[in-house]
Every structure is written in structure tokens, then in C-alpha cells.
Amino acid sequence: MTTAGRTRQAARNNEVILAAAREVFLADKRAPISAVAERAGVGISALYRRYASKEDMLRTLCHDGLQRFIAEAEQAMAIPGDWAAFEQFVRGVVDADVHSLTVHLAGTFPPDEQLTADATRANILAEALFDRARQDMRPGAVPADLTMLLEMCAAARVPDPERTRELRGRYLTMLLDGLRRGGELPGPAPTVEELNWRWISTP
């Protein structure tokens, strides 16, 4: 359990490095790769032994984020209440800061085939959860709004990550209440093109 041989230490580094990368790139998606090494307490070599390039690292992070998104959605699907399922799903996604790990990182490298496939599946699941809860929402709300709501929640941010989670819970409560009650929403809802413009990036 303690520090064992070189191989075990290396295996532990796998997790340490991934966690450090997640923390660093969550705080600043344009962070240099040396910041990840510093945060992990390792040299740069330890990073390049595991990932072919920075882009490779970001892709892994993005992939993990999408998996987490999908997992949260599938888990919420099993909940009986329609609105309860939707709320648990959204709160789980916001709590894990999945949005910063996916959409925010997506613009920094050309999309992957696997990535787009996962993104499609994630969208289908999210839409299903949204549609289930639609009867409890104000008129005019559409699934595309969910993306923007997640984006807005991700913008609430203070230096301390734990406190950030707490504050996001506070404002997510306001947003969800505003999603349920009220009259017709003003202005046309966002289109798919307007939501996916990040992904285009530089090919």
C-alpha cells in the first residue's frame, strides 16, 4: 500500500498525473503542460511517457468527461419521477464539472471520431431526460436550452473548487426553478449550429 517498487510507483503516477491534469485544465483550459507536471509533482518526462502529446492528454480528459456525462444520464434514467430524474442528472453533471471537461476542451483540438460518436450518444440521452421532464417546464423550453444552462453554471467559479461546487448548486437551484415556472420564454431557442460552433476549431 505504501511506496513499493518502481513499477507500482509508476502505476500510481498514472492516476496522480490524470488528476493533476484534470485540476489544472479545469482551472484554465489554456494552461501549459508544465503546470500539470508541477501540480502532479513529477517531471515533464513522466507526462510524455504516458501521452504522445498535449492534444492526446486533452483528448483523454475530454473522453473521460463524456463518459461521466453518459454515466450520469444512464443512472438518472432509472429514477421513476420525470422531473426528479432530470434534476438529479443535471445536478450530477454540474457537480462533476463535466461541461468544462467536454465543451470547453473540445475547442482546443480537432474532434475525434470516437469523440463525436460519444457526443451523439450523450446528446440523445440528455434529450430523452429533458423530454421526460418537459411537462413540468415552462412553455418554450427546449433541450437545446440545457446546453446553455450548463454553460452558464460552469461560469460560476471561485478559486476554491469545493466552494465552486457549493455556489453552483445555489445558482443551479435558481436556474431550475426558473426553468419550471414562468411564462413563454422570449427569443428563439438556440439552434444546433449555435451550440456546436466550438467543435469546429482548427482542423
Q: Which residues bind DNA (CB under 7 A)?
A: 4-10, 13, 30, 32-34, 41-46, 48-49, 53-55
Asked if 155 touches its own copies (CB under 8 A), the answer is yes
Residue number with CB closer to its own copies (6 or 30): 30
Asked if 169 touches its own copies (CB under 8 A), the answer is yes
Cell digits for 148? 446553455
Cα–Cα distance between 47 and 49 in angstroms, integer? 5
Asked if 35 touches its own copies (CB under 8 A), the answer is no
Give the one entry of its own copies, DNA, none that residue 8 binds, where binding means its C-beta sits below a cut-off of 5 to 8 angstroms depending on kind: DNA
Stretch touching its own copies by CB under 8 A, among 16-24, 31-39, 75-83, 151-159 = 151-159
# residues near its own copies by CB under 8 A: 34
Residue number with CB closer to DNA (120 or 201): 201
Asked if 95 touches its own copies (CB under 8 A), the answer is no
Asked if 192 touches its own copies (CB under 8 A), the answer is no
Asked if 159 touches its own copies (CB under 8 A), the answer is yes
Pick from 122, 72, 112, 108: nearest CA to 92: 72
Give the one entry of its own copies, DNA, none that residue 46 binds, where binding means its C-beta sits below a cut-off of 5 to 8 angstroms depending on kind: DNA
Residue number with CB closer to DNA (20 or 154): 20
**How many C-beta neighbours within 10 Å does residue 157 have?**
16
**How many C-beta neighbours within 10 Å does residue 47 have?**
21
Give the one entry of its own copies, DNA, none that residue 48 binds, where binding means its C-beta sits below a cut-off of 5 to 8 angstroms depending on kind: DNA
Cα–Cα distance between 84 and 86 in angstroms, integer? 5
The angle formed by the CA atoms of residues 93, 96 and 98, to the nearest 5 degrees, is 65
* CB-CB contact of 161 with 191 (8 Å): no
Asked if 32 touches its own copies (CB under 8 A), the answer is no
Give the one entry of its own copies, DNA, none that residue 70 binds, where binding means its C-beta sits below a cut-off of 5 to 8 angstroms depending on kind: none
Cα–Cα distance between 74 and 126 in angstroms, integer? 9
Pick from 141, 134, 148, 146: nearest CA to 184: 141
Residue number with CB closer to DNA (4 or 117): 4
Q: Which residues make Cβ contacts (< 8 Å) with residue 116, sequence separation at least 6? A: none
Look at the alpha carbons of 82, 87, 88, 94 in this order and tell me if their dihedral is positive or negative.
positive
